[in-house]
Amino acid sequence: MTSPDLTQANIDKIATLFPSVVTENFDADGNPVQAVDFDLLRQELSDHIVEGPQERYRLDWPGKRAAAFTANAPIAKTLRPVREESVDFDTTKNLFIEGDNLDALKLLQESYLGKVKLIYIDPPYNTGNDFVYNDDFAESVEEYLVRSGQVGDSGARLTANTESNGRFHSDWLSMMYPRLKLARNLLAADGVLVMSIDDNESANLRKLAEEVFGPRSFIAQLAIQVNPRGRHLDRFIAKTHESLLVFVRDPLSDAITGVEKDGRMADEYNRVDESGPYRLLGLRNRNQAFNPSTRPNLYYPLFISPSSGRVSAVGSDEFSVQVMPDAPDGTQTCWTWSREKVAAEEALLLAERSGDDWRVFRKDYLHGTDGEVAKTLAKSVWLDPEFSNDYGRKSVKKLFGSAVMDFPKSPEFMKRIIDIACGTNGTVLDFFAGSSSMAHAVLDANLGDGGTRRFIMIQLDEQTDEKSEAASAGFATIAALSKERIRRAGVTLKSEAGMLEGTVDVGFRALRVDTTNLADTATAADDLVQTALIDAVSSVKPDRTGEDLLFQVLLDWGLELTMPIKKETIDGFEVYDVEEGALILCTRPREARDSSLSRAAAAIAERQPLRVVFLDEDFADDAERINVGQVFSERSPHTEVKTI
């Protein structure tokens, strides 16, 4: 009977925006309460590294603040299209981005904010070696010991035990932290994050993701048998599995739908009635957290027909055996269904005699009674042989003739993740793409159910080992191998598509992380000489094309990078029309210096686009600039006009 706790309400709002800044504190009575770490909040809102020595319950390591700053720091880069490496560039809805995934994730923040249904990553496992993703965090043992407080400025060791391995954990966490923070922004409200990891960092990765997404967003840590024999270096225990950490963007959403029941489960569904095969699941609820005080609606008697085994919530001449809430051992029986659900679903209930007692079950059908494919909860242990790395190697060998990747994930394993977390038309992001097993699985899943899922693969242009089969096959980088994997998988799947061949999107737009297309023209007048004036006129680098500019404009305006593009020439100008007027970019080719921008602008204004972009250098003079503005004011006043 008090007024609302506005402080707590504000903390809840901050937790929604920045879950990593919410921590625990103690009230006056010593009880733990939710609180805001203001040092971390300042870091989220600052453009420099914020220091703060306060102790708190959290995962910590040397370099964490620098990693958080890295996530928020802007970059002067863009994505450039690479048509010659793409497949079906003009029509595909899929993307392959080559470059550092930290840069790529930053560049995608506006265009794909809250639009990704599933993020899957298989990050480099921490073996104690240096990372190709160093983000300037890699350091020597000596530097680490100084920064972590284990040696003084004079070089004298301050701790009893060395911790040389600690820098590798710190480097790895610093590499992962900003990427997870950026990835969270891209997930939809019902989005799911799934991460493959081994024992070296599984505990740290879980704590790290709990900090970024919030502890309640953690769903499960699954065990996936990827190597039934174990590894030849294993001691004491044959490590046959890897972990799969599952998080959701919003723990209150229906983000995970379960897996389809299939023929491999038929042995469990060994009973049949007019609705098909089914199995029996006990109706008794054994959750020890429930009791008559917390869940009174689950405690009530059921009535059984002795002749047929049918069950009812109401007693009668036919339903004469009463199953009381008090069980024989003195405890009370708690049901998984409420009385109202039992009344509505009596046809699914069945009782069987067990000695002198009756047990109540519900029928769980292999196939949905409403015509839809029935689903069940995914198990926490996955033992399917098709999920193993052996199967992953076989799938790659089938495409390339040799196992050009050492430990590729199985496409069937990837399809299971898609099945539980993506639906039929979501966007799937993998920013440690490797050999693009996930892209292969997305194409295969679409072929199987007619879905329209889209993928975004991001892979660093990391060099292949010169002694590897990939290098022997002519692939200089993992990114090149990854793109070829998608091409070959697409050709194979199209040949199997039959009637669906024309409807399955097996293409991708290849993009590359590069420096900005804009030249640095911020030169003081006193620093210019007459011969350099002409070089200071253009704001665009001389090696960049109109299509390069177009994709930077798409990023700046927050538009998706797979929108259809139509290129044409109007009065000598190159005109790029994105999705029939969502955006039009107009640029003057170098060979068309005599063309009039006013005439081209008038033709564009007649189409009444939503957005138009011109180059500043394409205006002949101020009079033409004013004239173009007047044209749009009169013919298309709603158009947003910008100039580069």
Looking at the DSSP bridge assignments, the partners of residue 611 are 640
CB 64 within 8 A of CB 177: yes
| Side-by-side strand order, sheet with 573-578 | 565-570, 573-578, 583-587, 611-614, 640-643
Count CB neighbours of 398 within 10 A. 11
Q: First-to-last CA distance in the chain?
A: 59
Residues in the chain, pLDDT under 70:
1-6, 26, 52-56, 127-167, 261-266, 325-331, 369-373, 499-501, 521-537, 591-594
In the chain, the amino acid numbered 605 is: A
The per-residue pLDDT for 428 is: 98
The per-residue pLDDT for 266 is 62
Q: How many other C-beta atoms can be found within 10 angstroms of the C-beta atom of residue 229? A: 10
pLDDT of residue 1: 40
Q: Count CB atoms within 10 A of the CB of residue 130.
A: 10
Helix pair 166-186, 202-213: axis angle to 10 deg: 40
Residue 409, CB-side half-sphere exposure with 13 Å CA sphere: 31
Round to whole Å and give the CA distance between 380 and 368. Answer: 23
The pLDDT, as a whole number, for residue 524 is 61
Check residue 165 and give its pLDDT: 46
**Alpha carbon distance 341, 312 (integer Å):** 11
Kindly state the tokens that stand for 29: 């009575």
Tokens of 542: 């001389």
pTM beyond 0.85, yes or no? no
Tokens found for residue 608: 């009444």
Question: How far is 608 from 297, CA to CA, in rounded Å?
Answer: 60
> Which pLDDT score is estimated for 141?
45
Q: Are 608 and 577 in contact (CB under 8 A)?
A: no
Asked if 173 and 209 count as a contact pair (C-beta separation under 8 A), the reply is no
Q: How far is CA 273 from CA 40, 282, 331, 447, in A?
A: 60, 18, 34, 33
Question: Would you say 602 and 629 are in contact if contact means Cβ atoms under 8 Å apart?
Answer: no
Tokens of 263: 């023929």
| Per-domain residue ranges of the chain | 1-58, 263-365, 402-514, 517-643
Q: What is the pLDDT of residue 252?
A: 84
Sequence-distant (6+) residues with CB within 8 A of 147 are 62, 63, 139
pLDDT in the model for residue 345: 92
